[in-house]
Amino acid sequence: MTNSSSSEVDTLLNIAVVGHTNTGKTSLIRTMLRSTEFGVIEDAAGTTRHVEQATISADNTPILHLHDTPGLEDSNALSSQLKKISAYSESLTAASVLENFVTNITPNDLLEQEAKVIRQVLRSDVLLYIIDVREPILEKYLIELEVLSKSSKPIIPVFNFIAEHKKELEKWRKQLATLNIHTALEFDTVAFTFEAEKRLYQKIQTLVESHYVKLQKLIDYRAGVWNQLCLSGAKRVAELIITVACHREIKHTKKSDTAGSLAANRLQDFVRKAEQHCLKDLLSIFNFSEKDVALQKIPVSNGQWQLDIFAPGILKTYGLDAGSNALKGAAAGAGIDLMVGGLSLGAASALGAIAGASWSTFKRYGEEIRATVQGSQWLCVDENTLRILYLRQQQLLEKLMHRGHAAFDTVHYDIPDTEKLPENWTELTSILRQNPAWQKASIARNNDPQYQEIITKLVNTLLNRR
């Protein structure tokens, strides 16, 4: 939302969001603003008692005002009052009847709330009439549409809560068609899609052509912002996978078993913290808070994943071998063995192995070779852990990209029917393990063609790009 001068206000498009009580008017505005802060949403009638305004901008240029109005609660009484005014003075136009009604309404009148709505309707250029398709088609809704049509303002019915209610949606469409209303739009404020928001602006364009260019600027701007949000989310998940796959902890094999356990614990803690940071960043990118998220079977509370990624239960949940080790050591690294003809450094003389390796090999794997000579091993994250880590974040990203800012329910995870791992996943993770220097950003890493190929593949898979 932005503030604008009085001169700008006069030229901005004014859109009134109207409808019966508790149909999702405030929810629509929250979703369009990408904010949970606008207005008050409660599962009770009459939450919005006054007209509230929000401004939508394109790159700091105000484009339109959205006006959240109180719910229409007594359409029968409102219609009766308007008929009385019309009968008293037959020369009044339909819009003049509405003007007369709001001018002569008294404080504490039973229709005072309806008067607030009509007053804003008369001041607006376009009306968005919000319909909860879960509700039966009652006469009061048809009366509301009839009253609003008296304003001579374009009306766009917006079907809300359409997810899993296709039959009810079709009934509403047929009913509106009998009233010669064919400009309705599906816009679920809970199960959000950017395409629905884009179509809403496009429909408004066709009704108020004087604002066509400005609305197109808004459409283009919002599309760019949305694409960037999704790209940022996917890159953050890719960064997590790369950071964790490249990370290593050294384990001194000549020391006690306790030293090895401490190294394993350090690695596990690193993975947990890395995942928690990613969770918080994803919520921030899409402007959600931790209170918006509670994960079914993989719960989150206070920024923490409550079900440990290393628990046997989670391996079983994802159809993996619950008996496998969550961590495994990589003695010197598979890459070195391949470059010295498959000779195991653990079985061969360390000096002989080093002598058989080229200088470039030593430069590339020097730390691993020194660790082997000193009787140490590297601990890195195993395939199962990386797989679960990727799938959890993939699901969370998908949920956040399709969650409206009006959603009451917390985000729930459903274990995927099919795993959506990038092609050649095992090869990809193997390359990452062999490049610990990629864990931290650097010019060399960012310019590496192999690194660029991996991050592109991760991002494209997360965004369902081919």
CATH code at 37? 3.40.50.300
Residue 291 sits in the same domain as residue 427: yes
Whether 346 is in a domain gets the answer: no
The whole-angstrom separation of Cα 285 and Cα 306 is 22
Q: Which long-range contacts (CB under 8 A, 24 or more apart) does 437-445 make?
A: 437/246, 438/242, 438/246, 439/242, 439/243, 439/246, 439/247
Over 80: is that where the pLDDT of 153 sits? yes
Is the residue at 79 inside a domain?
yes
Residues 37 and 88 in one domain: yes
Question: pLDDT, tens digit, for every residue of 331-383?
Answer: 333 333 333 333 333 333 343 444 444 445 445 555 655 555 555 567 788 88
Based on the fold, state whether residues 24 and 75 are members of the same structural domain. Answer: yes
Higher pLDDT, 179 or 289: 179
325 close to 371: Cβ distance less than 8 angstroms: no
Name the residue with higher pLDDT: 361 or 127.
127
Report the alpha-carbon distance of residue 403 to residue 165 in Å, rounded: 17
Does 406 map to a domain? yes
Assess if residue 363 is contained within a domain: no
pLDDT at 383: 81
Q: Specify the pLDDT at position 331.
A: 31
Same domain, 176 and 286: no
How does residue 38 score in pLDDT terms, banded at 50, 70 and 90? Answer: low
Are 295 and 419 contained in the same domain? yes
CA distances from 391 to 47, 160, 388, 413, 416 (A): 39, 30, 5, 11, 8
Whether the pLDDT of residue 91 is over 70: the answer is: yes
Structural domain harbouring 128: 6-207
My answer on whether 127 and 166 are in the same domain is yes
Instruction: Give the per-residue pLDDT at 356.
Output: 47
Give residue 414's pLDDT: 52
pLDDT band at residue 143 under the 50/70/90 scheme: very high
Q: Which of 10-19, 407-416, 453-462 has the lowest mean pLDDT?
A: 407-416
Average pLDDT over residues 30-55: 68
Give yes or no: residues 235 and 101 share one domain: no
Please indicate, yes or no, whether residues 403 and 439 belong to a single structural domain of this protein.
Answer: yes
Q: What total number of domains does the chain contain?
A: 2
Q: Does 54 share its domain with 117?
A: yes
In a domain, 219, yes or no: no
DSSP H or E run through 126 = strand 126-132
Question: Does residue 300 lie within any of the structural domains?
Answer: yes
* The model scores a pTM over 0.95: no
Domain membership flag for residue 97: yes
At a CB cut-off of 8 Å and minimum separation 6, what does 196 contact?
A: 185, 186, 187, 188
Confidence category of residue 191, pLDDT binned at 50, 70, 90: confident
367 vs 242, more confident: 242
Residue type, 122: L
Q: Over 50: is that where the pLDDT of 235 sits?
A: yes
Q: By mean pLDDT, which of 93-102, 217-226, 292-301, 324-333 is the weakest?
A: 324-333
Identify whether residues 286 and 414 lie together within a single domain: yes
Give φ, ψ of 353 to 5 degrees. -65, -40
Which residues pair with residue 227 across a beta bridge? none
Q: What is the pLDDT of residue 381?
A: 84
Residues in the chain: 466
User: Average pLDDT over the chain, rounded to whole?
Assistant: 78
Please tell me whether residues 235 and 185 are part of one structural domain. Answer: no
Domain shared by 202 and 241, yes or no: no
pLDDT of 340: 35
Sign of CA dihedral 235, 240, 243, 245: negative
Q: Is the pLDDT of residue 457 over 90?
A: yes
Handedness of CA 251, 254, 255, 257 (dihedral sign): positive
